[in-house]
Amino acid sequence: MRQHSITLSGLALLSLAIAGCSPQGESPGEVSGNVARAQLVGADQTQYGEVIVAQGDNGLLVNIKAQGMSPGPHGAHIHQTGKCDGPDFKSAGGHWNPAGKEHGFDNPQGAHAGDFFNLDIGPDGTGSLQATIQGATLSDGENPLLDADGAAFVVHEGADDLKTDPSGDSGGRLACGVFVGGR
């Protein structure tokens, strides 16, 4: 399970990033220091929210804020390649999976580092999700998220069943956002 306690320094860093008060005022889709941002955009350029990833003491702190989506659960994953070419966003590749696992928290061989629980969208079209990816780093170390080809965040049209490899049978890709950066 990726829901773990967040250290005070990690919480402060993520709070600053969410509030948009970063020292350099970086724009979405950019990496500055220990924070990366990506805008979630549909193939028709609809804005669906933002994902912020910050380096914490024990891993990556992830905060997803979504808007304008259909109510209900949606699969949400970090993908291995920093590309979001429409209309299907297949250019983002598969899930970020540096340990070579299978998909899902309910899969005995799972889970990918890029797997999350479902992003639940309320009747008003908004939702949020917070998680920690233990042992991962933003751009340095053994399991860096942002390698030479970056990474992307994808929200799927349907719910993730948390066990079916490779993507939880979560349907097509609704929105995608690129984290630009690297070493």
For residue 179, give the nearest of 43, 44, 60 by alpha carbon. Answer: 60
Whether residue 59 contacts residue 6, with contact meaning beta carbons closer than 8 Å, is answered with no
Q: What is the pLDDT of residues 106-162, one digit of tens each?
A: 988 889 999 999 999 999 999 999 999 998 999 888 778 998 889 999 999 999 999
* The two three-digit tokens of residue 133, written as one number: 């990816």
Cβ-based neighbour number of residue 30 at 10 Å = 17
> What's domain 8-179's architecture?
Sandwich (2.60)
Q: What is the pLDDT of residues 66-81, one digit of tens each?
A: 999 999 999 999 999 9
**CA–CA dist 177, 78 (Å, integer):** 10
Backbone phi and psi for residue 33, each to the nearest 5 degrees, phi listed first:
60, -115
For residue 58, give the nearest of 130, 140, 136 by alpha carbon. Answer: 136
**How much is the pTM?**
0.82
